[in-house]
Amino acid sequence: MRQFLKYTLASLTGSILFFLLLGFLLTLGAVGLVGVLVAGLSQESDAPTVEKDTVLVYDLSTLIPDSPEALDPGALVLGGQTPSAITLRQAVLALEQAATDDRITALYLKGSGAGVGAGLASQIEIRQALETFSATDKPILAYDISWTEQEYALASLADTVYLNPFGEIEMNGLYAETMFQAEALEKLGVGVQVTRVGRYKSAVEPLIRDTMSPEEREQTQRLLGDLWQNLLTSTAASRDLSAQQLQTIADTQGFLFGAEAETQSLADEIAYEDEVIAALRDITGEVDDDDDDDDSSLDFRQIGLARYAKTVEDPLLSRRADNEVALVYAEGPIIDGGDSGSFSPSGVIAGNALAGQLRQLRQDDDVKAVVLRVNSPGGSATASEVILREIQLVREAGKPVVVSMGNVAASGGYWIASQADIILAQPTTITGSIGVYGVFLNLEDLGTKVGVNWDGVKTAELADIFSSTRPKTEAELAILQRSVDSIYDSFLDRVAEGRDLARPAVAELAQGRVWSGTAALDLGLVDELGGIDRAIATAAELAELGDDWKLQEYPEPGEWQRFLRIFLSPDAARATAHDPVTTQVLQFVDDTQMIRSLNDPRGIYSIMPFRLVVK
């Protein structure tokens, strides 16, 4: 009895302590949420103001996604990082508005060593906006200690490119690498079997090879060559140089250090940051007092791009009209499931959710055309077909569909785009990868190594065909291969019909191969080169709306998201520079997370080459 009372009292005490702790944490969370809301209210009341003679600052590492990112309530309470505060259209509109804003006297492109927070295709639209600003009499200044090629492609438009005396300009070409894990998996005892169609469908190669296949090397070389030539041509034109001059630097020097960057016309002045700030203060008319010992001379009158964007009204969204062009964002890997009424996290395309959104737009009489902005490497083949079906129905309802391709619209991303009325891409968009694969792991050898065994019963010979505790038999792989072949044939049919191409021609250019937007245009996979605004204008033209229409972005935030956005005004998130080892680890983590998100019910995927890292 004594022991019984002892354990009973201990259990009761533990329960009381647990509920006290739970209450404390809930209270702490509520206080944290109140704090967030109060801070949001303060920010909301403190609307951005722009003083006369202000410099617009664009930190090139600012992360600029296509669509507004969803706010995670849990992350807010627990102090997690808030999403980026600026989208691509907002960034472009802000830069274009600043060109004619009398309060903005100059533009400062600030490098940070972390690279550009926008992809290569998005960077083209940003560059065009910078060209609009450059066409005015307002100066553009750019400064960094170490310029990468992508940063410099934007900075090259500046009237004055500054370089730190101990800095350098990187001009050594692009490099793509993939981490191969076949040997490591073999040592761990993890077996890998694949079914695939397409000579170039290399998404599974990191799991079954230790080096690039000849086909993968060929397609990657072609793709990088297209991206590099676009980068060379645009950068050289901005500096009154030839592309060959930059190519020679890339082949023989790689990096221009300090004064030699100025000698070869890539930098205009060698200066420290305080000297650049002094030049900016001179532009804003802020006079330094020699007797002033405070730090005021280390700053200048400025406003960041994300904050300035909040003062800029989108003319297409604010139009008064009944007719509507719907801009639908499809960003991230394509996964199965979801529904239009649930909270969907940023970074994935849930097939049922996007299909439900398209269905609502089809049934809305005010919606006259749809622009689908695709920025996806693909994913679930089943979910891709679910989305494509709704796109077909939108078109059958008499509403034109225009696809605007972002940084990548490949595999499943191309599947959902293939039957649009018009497809637009940027020259540096990665697209194509028309292929299908299935990958199957087995843990039998791993179990043997660590002393784990599996056993079970079944009612039919193929009941355990998807078991991961043993390898597939040849007969089972043949069955799974037939399924992959069937989906691949359907993919070819969709493309041939949507692009009005002969099926043999599609079969030849497919094979899982990725293409640049420039090559895709030549092959007939896309119809035009252009950005998101051109796609919107094209949709309005196809619907014959004249000027009687307004733009509406989807998916619209739910009530909870609206509530959070009223009280929260996040700062712009920025890219972070890491050492090489950390970068490799983070890439591996990203790869693992992508694998975990893939949930096709048949285990069959249409996704571009696995994590192509371009440096």
Q: Averaged in consecutive runs of 10 residues, what is the pLDDT profile of the chain (615 residues)? A: 43 49 48 48 60 95 84 47 76 97 97 84 96 95 94 96 95 89 91 88 87 92 94 95 96 94 95 95 80 63 94 93 96 82 65 95 97 94 95 98 96 96 97 90 89 91 90 93 93 96 95 94 97 97 96 76 49 55 46 53 59 54
148 and 296 belong to one structural domain: yes
332 and 408 co-located in one domain:
yes
Which residue type, as a one-letter code, is found at position 358?
Answer: L
Is 568 inside any structural domain?
no
Residue 236: its pLDDT value, please?
96
* Cα 391 to Cα 152, 395, 530, distances in angstroms: 39, 6, 21
- 471 and 350 in a common domain: yes
Distance of CA 226 to the CA centre of its chain: 20
Annotated catalytic residue within 201, 368, 399, 472: 201
For residues 177 and 490, give the distance between their C-alpha atoms in angstroms, rounded to a whole number: 31
Q: Are 409 and 337 found together in one domain?
A: yes
Specify if 443 maps to a domain. Answer: yes
Structure tokens, 449:
């190594």
For the question of residue 201 being annotated catalytic, the response is yes
303 with 425, same domain: the answer is no
Cβ atoms within 10 Å of 269's Cβ, excluding its own: 14
What's the total number of domains in the chain?
A: 2
Q: Which residue is catalytic, options 234, 411, 418, 433?
A: 411
Q: CA-to-CA distance for 443 and 470, rounded, in angstroms?
A: 7
Residue 123 belongs to some domain of the structure: yes
Helix H, strand E, coil C: the string for 308-322 is HHCCCCCCCCCCCCC
Residue found under tokens 């737009």 = 361
In terms of domains, do 301 and 389 share one? no
Among 263, 278, 309, which residue terminates a domain?
Answer: 309
Residue 332 maps to a domain: yes
- Domain boundary among the residues 278, 309, 340 is at 309
Distance (Å, whole) CA 518 – CA 531: 13
| In a shared domain, residues 305 and 337 | no
Question: For residue 556, is it left (φ>0), alpha (ψ between -120 and 50) or beta?
Answer: beta
**CATH (domain of 89):** 3.90.226.10
**Three-class DSSP category at 460:** coil
Q: Is the dihedral of CA 481, 482, 488, 492 positive or negative?
A: positive
Same domain, residue pair 298 and 343: no
Cis peptide, bond prior to residue 555, ω within 30 of zero: yes
Q: 336-343, long-range: CB within 8 Å, 24+ apart, which pairs?
A: 336/380, 336/382, 336/383, 336/599, 336/600, 336/601, 337/383, 337/599, 340/555, 343/70, 343/558, 343/560, 343/561
In three-state secondary structure terms, 279 is helix
Range of the domain at 299: 54-172+253-309
- Which positions ≥6 away from 22 have C-beta within 8 Å? none
Among residues 309, 340, 373, which one ends one of the domains? 309
Q: How much is the pLDDT for 78?
A: 43
Is residue 562 a part of any domain in this protein? no
- What single letter denotes the amino acid at residue 298? L
Q: Helix 243-252 vs helix 214-238: angle between axes, to the nearest 10 degrees?
A: 120
Q: Chain centroid to CA 45: how far?
A: 32
Contacts of 385 (CB under 8 A, 6+ apart): 415, 490
Shared domain check, 373 and 257: no
Q: Please confirm, yes or no, whether 411 is among the known catalytic residues.
A: yes
DSSP string over 129-180: HHHHHHTSS--EEEEEEEE-HHHHHHHTTSSEEEEEEEEEEEES---EE---
| Residue 151 belongs to some domain of the structure | yes
Specify whether the CB–CB gap between 306 and 85 falls below 8 A: yes
294 token code pair: 């405070």
Based on the fold, state whether residues 393 and 267 are members of the same structural domain: no
Six-digit token pair at 3? 């022991």
pLDDT for residue 614: 56
Instruction: Please give the span between the terminal C-alpha atoms of the chain, in angstroms, as a whole number.
Output: 71
Alpha-carbon 309 to chain mean position: 20
CA distance 159 to 86: 26
How far apart are alpha carbons 553 and 1 in whole angstroms? 69
Structure tokens at 604: 């069959």
Distance CA 489, CA 483 (A): 10
Sign of the Cα pseudo-torsion (497, 498, 502, 503, in order): negative
Please tell me whether residues 359 and 279 are part of one structural domain: no
Output Rg (C-alpha) for the chain, integer angstroms.
27
Task: With respect to residue 376, please indicate whether it lies within any of the assigned structural domains.
Answer: yes
Cα separation, 182 vs 186, whole angstroms: 6
Identify whether 580 is preceded by a cis peptide bond (ω within 30 of 0). Answer: no
- 304 and 400 both lie in a single domain: no
Cα distances (angstroms) measured from residue 553 to each of 197, 260, 327, 329, 390 = 36, 48, 5, 8, 18
Query: Angle at Cα 247 formed by Cα 243 and Cα 251, nearest 5°?
Result: 175
In this structure, is residue 191 part of a structural domain?
Answer: no
